[in-house]
Structure 1
Amino acid sequence: MLTTTVCVALSAAGLAIAILTAYRRRYARATRIAAFALVPVGLAMAGLAQLGGKVGRAVGDWAADLVFKPTVWAGFAVLAVSVVLFMIARVAGRRTGRGAPQGTEGRPGVEPAASAPAVGPGRKAAQPAPKAKKGRSDGLDDFEDIEAILKKHGI
């Protein structure tokens, strides 16, 4: 009941300020003030102001328990252990190489190259990229290619 009264008083004060602002011929600002002034009474009518009070009391009770109850501290310790175990599992998963096919690491008779895709008949295997000439960087090789194209076109 008190919450509703406070909300109505806040809205009434806001609407009074909006009327004074409109009297000064600042209608856009007065409209904005009136919109904000109606928020407290709307929250009270919808029951959200009381809900906010209950949430505030619940947070206060939890904070008091945090200070005075050792079981709350033990709960945080359990959560910390859970996070550490999760991180260990992620690191261990990355080190085992999840991308490798399962079961081919330790089986006799299966070689790693056996799972490579076969090149069909009539196709040649991909050639490795030509190595850069000694004494020149890769950037100069690009310029040589461009120069050859320009010479080919007579430029």
Structure 2
Amino acid sequence: MRRIVLIGVLLLLALPAMAQEVVVRGIDGREVSVPAAEIAALPHVTVRGPGREAASYSGVPLVALLERVGAPFGQAMRGAALRVVVVVRASDGYAATLSLAEIDPGARGTQVILADRRAAEPLDAAEGPFRLVVEGDLRRARSVFRVNRIELVQLP
């Protein structure tokens, strides 16, 4: 019985560690919190996982979240916009970067998504509730699990 109670307490303590929202920060420092329910309601696309991973992931194109903080895409993707880096951070401190141009749908034929589902099921605690999936990557190095923050950084 004590073991069951201990497991229950540990599970409850782990809940805050699972981000139920993602904070998106623009170049100008403006931050927008996007709750899980809002992410679930946004239009989703499905992509294959990186490398030899055969699983399919469903999620929101990263561009849809970055547009909320004024990220330049399309015709505005030139000049200083080409020096913008996207930093995707996890609750455990792991982070990966992409250039903003890599995410621009007009510049690449692949998707970068914030996934909330794997094979039509919600992500488990090891990956989610949100995971970065970069379609076409040959390795999982940029597959950030437990994403809680996305930041735009302007390079000099």
In the superposition, the TM-score normalised over structure 2's length comes to: 0.18
Name the structure where strand makes up a greater proportion of residues.
2
In the superposition, the TM-score normalised over structure 1's length comes to: 0.18
Name the structure where helix makes up a greater proportion of residues.
1
